[in-house]
Amino acid sequence: MDVVDQWNGQRACTLQAALRMTNEAFAGHLGVAVRTVASWHAEPQIVPRSEIQAALDTTFERAGESVRLRFNVLSRPAPTSVQPQALTVAIAVVVRGDEVLLVCRRGSDSLTWQFPAGMVKPGSAADAVAIQETHSETGVHCAVRQHLGSRLHPITGVIANYYLCDYLAGEVSNRDPLENVDVTWVPRSSLTRFIPQDKIYSPIMAALEDA
């Protein structure tokens, strides 16, 4: 493959593997957030924005012959006997009084409101990741009150762990402007105006009603 017509998450991760870079190193090389690289692993079909497409083009074009050869080999379809393993994310449903914390994420062609979330690396505790990612994204400190359950996410296919969290301290701010457009507190009664109810894991709604 001498030319990539369009980069998606899968092809970007294949280039990362060909370069033998960690998520952190690949993100630094492209000038994007580590969370962006992690999202490509979680959603192989996601199409990065045009400026990231250009950065991936440049990286591929400047790669040595051995890297391009590895990329071509790794791009070949995997044997059907190999089953992909679902990645794991931790999702924090942070409440402060009658409000819940949301982030507005950038997509390839749309914006979506979501709860703060982060990838769970092997050996990491999902509840700790929920707390850390909330602070990393929004500046808010929180504590886990309750594990609301886990499911195979119907859209992304990752294993999603949900945690009801209590606000402790911190002024809300958008700490990851490359990935998020905005972060804010919204009234719990207005949550479904931001996220359609059929997209919300049902134990979340039950927990918010009881909180």
Task: Tell me the CA end-to-end span of the chain in Å, nearest whole number.
Answer: 54
Tell the residue number behind the tokens 């590895």, with chain if given: 70
Instruction: List CB contacts of 164: < 8 A, sequence separation 6 or more.
Output: 93, 95, 144, 145, 146, 147, 148, 204, 207, 211
Report whether 160 contacts 201 (CB < 8 A): yes
Quick one: pLDDT at residue 210? 78
Tokens of 99: 């409000």
Distances in whole angstroms, Cα of residue 134 to Cα of each of 57, 61, 114, 119, 167: 32, 36, 12, 12, 10
Instruction: List CB contacts of 108: < 8 A, sequence separation 6 or more.
Output: 46, 47, 48, 49
Q: Where are the beta strands (DSSP E) in 42-158?
A: 88-96, 99-106, 111-114, 117-119, 141-152
d(Cα 26, Cα 12) in Å, to the nearest integer?
10
Quick one: pLDDT at residue 82? 43
Per-residue pLDDT of the chain (211 residues; tens, 9 = 90+): 567 889 999 999 999 999 999 999 999 999 999 999 999 988 888 999 999 999 999 999 998 888 888 898 888 876 554 455 568 999 999 999 999 999 998 875 677 899 999 999 888 999 999 999 999 999 999 999 999 999 988 877 889 999 999 999 999 999 998 889 999 999 999 999 999 988 899 999 999 887 6
Cα torsion for 166, 168, 171, 176, to the nearest 10°? -60
Q: What is the pTM assigned to this prediction?
A: 0.60
DSSP codes of every residue in 11-62? HHHHHHHHHT--HHHHHHHHT--HHHHHHHHH-TT----HHHHHHHHHHHHH
Task: Report domain extents, the chain.
Answer: 9-74, 88-210
Q: Which CATH superfamily groups domain 88-210? A: Nucleoside Triphosphate Pyrophosphohydrolase (3.90.79.10)
Report whether 131 contacts 165 (CB < 8 A): yes
